[in-house]
Amino acid sequence: MNAFVVIDKEAGWTSHDVVARCRKVLAEQRIGHAGTLDPGATGVLVLGIGRATRLLRFVSGADKEYRGEVVLGATTSTLDDEGEVLERFDMRWVTLEDARRAAATLLGEIDQRVPMVSAVKVGGRRLHRLAREGIEVERPVRRVTVERFAVAQGPEPGVFSIEVRCSSGTYVRSLAADLGAALGGGAHLRRLRRTRSGSFGLEDARSMTALERALADGDRSALRAPLDALDLERLVASDAALEDVRHGRGIDPVSLGATGPGPFAVVGPDGGLRAVYELSGDRRARAAVVLEGA
């Protein structure tokens, strides 16, 4: 089985919980996900199944979109509403226009320090495990891109609704904390929901319950073709080129009509994905992933 499935993750599940459940439901051990969602967050979680797991690195790096709420006046140990309150601030004076001006300063390329409560490993140990032991260590700083940071009035005073479009690896709860700091106080995030991951949005996603019911009824329409998940330049290979692809040999992408730097999704005459190729530095492209039956 080589496919992708898009889950609308519910709150309380870890991304690993979803993977484990899908392994059982689909009777397939080779399943991975394209970008962790915190347990308290909901929304789009893309899973690769079978040999499609080898394509996840081309999916996980895609831009993401989120919506959530920023609560002014309190910082927390986790930067969201699941942590302990560390400090409180009187921020009743902050207006919507103040928040929008502050959010504008966080657009473009910015540096983010990885939060202590995260799945990133430092010294071979995950940060969230260290945090639970009360250990704080130096964390890496990542360069990320925030393309959109829209702020609207929230459901109650002191709360703003946000919509974010950002590069992979961006921590939205760090953005919430940074927004609070830019306003001269503190803030944390709540009700985070991922609305899009690369090519897939909420309209493509199913809850675990809905997926299980569909599969039990013989409906496998939730299993998406690998090509659906890849936002890559597509090259149509001739029969002769396909022979090279089947054996993982290098190809000349320009001869197949390539116009960009790659990676390239190489498809057969029937439109089905056969492989993903990357430039190797000598104007030829090498096989990064060759699907079974290419």
Question: Which one, of 81, 45, 78, lies nearest residue 229 by Cα?
Answer: 45
98 assigned to active site: no
Kindly state the tokens that stand for 33.
């996900």
* Residue whose entry in the numeric block shows the structure tokens 């013989």: 218
Element (H, E) at 3: strand 3-9
Q: Describe the chain by its helix, strand, coil percentages, rounded to 5.
A: 25, 35, 40
CB of 76 within 8 A of CB of 40?
A: no
Check 8, 38, 178, 204 and give the catalytic one. 38
| Alpha-carbon distances of 40 from 37, 46, 107, 222, rounded to whole Å | 8, 17, 25, 24
Can you tell me the distance from the alpha carbon of 20 to that of 39, in angstroms, rounded to the nearest whole number?
A: 14
Kindly state the tokens that stand for 136.
């704080």
Question: Which one, of 102, 89, 104, 92, lies nearest residue 148 by Cα?
Answer: 104
CB of 103 within 8 A of CB of 113?
A: no
Other Cβ atoms within 10 Å of 249 Cβ, number: 13
* Range list of β-strands (E), 50-203: 64-72, 74-76, 85-88, 108-113, 121-122, 125-126, 141-153, 159-166, 187-197, 200-201
Put residue 271 in one of left, alpha, beta given phi > 0 → left and psi -120 to 50 → alpha: left
Strands 141-153 and 108-113: antiparallel
> Among all residues, which ones are annotated catalytic?
38
